[in-house]
């Protein structure tokens, strides 16, 4: 096969990757796969004809298929990038059309529920290796993706115990080449870890924005004006895709309710400290929480630049 | 008086401003006052000798006084930039030394409690006009300040009903010249508005970081690794100054407990939706919250650039 011009690059990890669903994550995978030469051919499909049209305009893929069934044809890697609630139906549709020895993966934010949805339809000789790249922005849709979204983020794989180690290694190599650090854990542990690091934070962000919107003594205009006091940071999270997040909460119910229970217990204790005027207790907690942030910055999961002030964002900043 | 060289600027609004306490806010006021020529002379003091030394090194002021009493001498504007819990004691110290007709103000995040602390010491012929610039970053200390912190943020004044309109107008002019939009309201309303836009958001951010730190099933290392799923945004807020925030909660107890009660009620309803699998209820809330974010972006209190991904912060970003 003739080499394309440009800088030399490693051989593609996959011949033909297929992405079903082209939102933020799907489009970011397409960008990075193209940019890094991770696949010879990129085929995508999306249930929405508007999205398919937009993907074609953006030139995100080599081929935009009309249906998921057609898209998966001959692909050696198929990644389901649809909301968790839609995964079972897509799996049912594509299962008979999957190539033998194909790797089937996903990017869902919950893993036990995804496995339960997909496994009943799984053909013999297809390697199902669930995955979750822990990365995102508050934007959605095919225009939102970019090639560096996964860089220095973690991608969690939750292969079943009987998974083919070579298939797991190939998928891990794909995500590493996309810039991510790869970690392997059980689906149940994934769901617990993400409940506290992602799902409950989103839930309480959505909740406080809702609480603020419903007040009568404080107008919505006042909430907006004075949001720089801390509130606006929650609205960023609470602007995330509603369908995706509905599905996360419906499909990680047990772990979310467990972590939410602990959050509420702790909040009740904090409430009591305020009511009783326990300044030392408040001070101790507020000091302890700084250590975790230091760890996050040290491990490159966050920038240390002060961002509350949004200095860079200021028009005519001096 | 000889004009200094450089571009022509308006006459200073104050002859001599005095800042007691040089943390993030105090140092930012010093920067902007210098930069915009808002005062002929800037005098500062701080209870910490380390901070005083650092302020002198940074050249933030024309004069660094050893004591608050000495600092306020002959100042026509004195701004108390100390934590709310220290304001009463500072007011007691400086009261006998305030110049006649001086304006005394502050930057505290609560207003009713500050007024209750200060008023008993207030001399006749001093204009006490409490203020709260709603701006900040997660950084603290004299190195954290910068001249544009207040630009396009709101500064709330809560003058007493009998306040001299001219004094109020001068302080408002000062904050406008510092880049802020000025709003006037009662102290009680201020405390309610800030409880929901700032105090409760900080409280729940501190709380979830504490909850995550205490888990046994999920290690601290895992919390840090997978924080890009949403959690890290809370750690930014939960890295704010512990002393300042302890004092806020102790001094705005009623409004915080009231707003926290509503937050908890709403969270309980959300918890029930998850338990019962009410996808429509979740979807409706998650959609509604997007409107508030749009308002915040439209009013310039936030940037629309996707920030979850921290694209700009990436080293070697492509």
| Residue-wise pLDDT tens digits, B266-285 | 999 999 999 999 999 999 99
Where would I find the H helices in B110-183? 112-118, 165-177
Could you tell me the CA-to-CA distances from A153 to A76, A136, A195 in Å, in that order?
Answer: 25, 10, 17
Question: Once rounded to an integer, what is the mean pLDDT over residues B46-53?
Answer: 98
Q: Which residues pair with B63 in a beta bridge?
A: B43
Structure confidence at residue B308 as a pLDDT band (50, 70, 90): low
| Radius of gyration of the CA atoms of chain B, in A | 22
Average pLDDT, chain B: 92
| Residue-wise pLDDT tens digits, A147-172 | 999 999 999 999 999 999 999 999 99
Chain A neighbors of B108, CB-CB under 8 A: none
Question: Once rounded to an integer, what is the mean pLDDT over residues B7-28?
Answer: 89
Where would I find the H helices in chain A? 24-36, 49-58, 68-71, 87-94, 112-118, 165-177, 187-194, 200-214, 220-225, 231-237, 242-251, 253-276, 279-298
Whether residue A136 and residue B264 make contact (CB cut-off 8 A), yes or no, is no
Could you please report the per-residue DSSP string of B66-84?
Answer: SSHHHHTTT-SEEEE-S-G
| Residue-wise pLDDT tens digits, A62-114 | 999 999 999 999 999 999 999 999 999 999 999 999 999 999 999 999 999 99
Whether residue A197 and residue B231 make contact (CB cut-off 8 A), yes or no, is yes
Whether residue B223 and residue A292 make contact (CB cut-off 8 A), yes or no, is yes
| Residue-wise pLDDT tens digits, B184-235 | 999 999 999 999 999 999 999 999 999 999 999 999 899 998 988 889 888 8
Whether residue A211 and residue B313 make contact (CB cut-off 8 A), yes or no, is no
pLDDT at A311: 52
pLDDT at B157: 98
Structure confidence at residue B145 as a pLDDT band (50, 70, 90): very high
- State the best of B32, B309, B315 to mutate against chain A, taking most chain A CBs within 10 Å: B309
| Residue-wise pLDDT tens digits, A253-284 | 999 999 999 999 999 999 999 999 999 999 99
Domains assigned to chain A: 14-185 (3.40.50.720), 190-301 (1.10.3660.10)
Q: Which residues pair with A88 in a beta bridge?
A: none
Residues of chain A with pLDDT > 90, as a percent, come to: 80
Question: Once rounded to an integer, what is the mean pLDDT over residues B277-302?
Answer: 89
Structure confidence at residue A240 as a pLDDT band (50, 70, 90): confident
pLDDT at B309: 60
Identify the closest residue of chain B to A227 by CA–CA distance.
Answer: B197
pLDDT at A216 over 50: yes
Greatest Cα-to-Cα distance within chain A, rounded to the nearest angstrom: 75
B227 touches chain A (CB under 8 A): yes
pLDDT at A314: 42
What number of H helices and E strands is found in chain A?
13, 9
pLDDT at A16 over 80: yes
B34 touches chain A (CB under 8 A): no
What dihedral do alpha carbons B112, B115, B117, B118 form, nearest 10°? Answer: 170
How does B204-239 read in b/e, with b if 16+ C-beta sit within 10 Å? bbbbbbbbbeebeebeeebbbbbbbbbbbbbbbbbb
pLDDT at B4: 46
B272 touches chain A (CB under 8 A): no
pLDDT at A10: 65
Give the CB-side neighbour count of residue B263, counting CA atoms within 13 A.
28
- State the best of A157, A188, A207 to mutate against chain B, taking most chain B CBs within 10 Å: A207
Chain A neighbors of B217, CB-CB under 8 A: 189, 192
∠ Cα A170 A150 B206 (to 5°)? 125
Three-state SS string over B242-286 comes to HHHHHHHHHHCHHHHHHHHHHHHHHHHHHHHHHHHCCHHHHHHHH
Structure confidence at residue B9 as a pLDDT band (50, 70, 90): low
Could you tell me the CA-to-CA distances from A86 to A21, A82, B188 in Å, in that order?
Answer: 10, 6, 49
């Amino acid at each position: 096969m003739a080499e394309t011009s440009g800088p030399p690059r490693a051989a593609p990890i996959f011949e033909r990757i297929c992405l079903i669903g082209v939102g933020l994550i799907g489009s970011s995978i397409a960008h990075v796969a193209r940019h890094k030469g991770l696949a010879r051919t990129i085929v995508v499909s999306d249930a929405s004809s508007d999205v398919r049209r937009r993907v074609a305009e953006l030139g995100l893929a080599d081929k935009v298929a009309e249906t998921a069934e057609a898209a998966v044809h001959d692909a050696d890697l198929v990644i389901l990038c649809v909301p968790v609630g839609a995964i079972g139906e897509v799996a049912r549709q594509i299962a008979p059309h999957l190539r033998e020895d194909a790797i089937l993966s996903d990017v869902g934010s919950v893993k036990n529920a995804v496995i339960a949805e997909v496994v009943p339809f799984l053909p013999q000789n297809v390697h199902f290796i669930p995955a979750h790249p822990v990365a995102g922005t508050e934007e959605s849709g095919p225009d939102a993706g970019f090639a560096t979204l996964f860089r220095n983020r973690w991608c969690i794989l939750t292969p079943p115990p009987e998974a083919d180690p070579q298939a797991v290694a190939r998928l891990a190599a794909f995500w590493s080449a996309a810039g991510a650090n790869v970690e392997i854990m059980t689906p149940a542990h994934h769901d617990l870890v993400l409940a506290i690091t992602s799902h409950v934070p989103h839930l309480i962000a959505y909740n406080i924005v809702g609480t603020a919107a419903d007040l009568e003594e404080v107008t919505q205009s006042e909430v907006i004006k004075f949001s720089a006091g801390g509130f606006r940071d929650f609205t960023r999270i609470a602007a995330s895709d509603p369908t995706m997040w509905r599905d996360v909460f419906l499909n990680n119910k047990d772990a979310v309710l467990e972590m939410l229970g602990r959050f509420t217990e702790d909040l009740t204790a904090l409430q009591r400290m305020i009511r009783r005027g326990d300044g030392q207790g408040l001070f101790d907690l507020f000091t302890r929480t700084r250590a975790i942030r230091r760890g996050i910055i040290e491990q490159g999961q966050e920038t240390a630049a002060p961002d509350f002030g949004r200095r860079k964002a200021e028009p005519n900043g001096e």
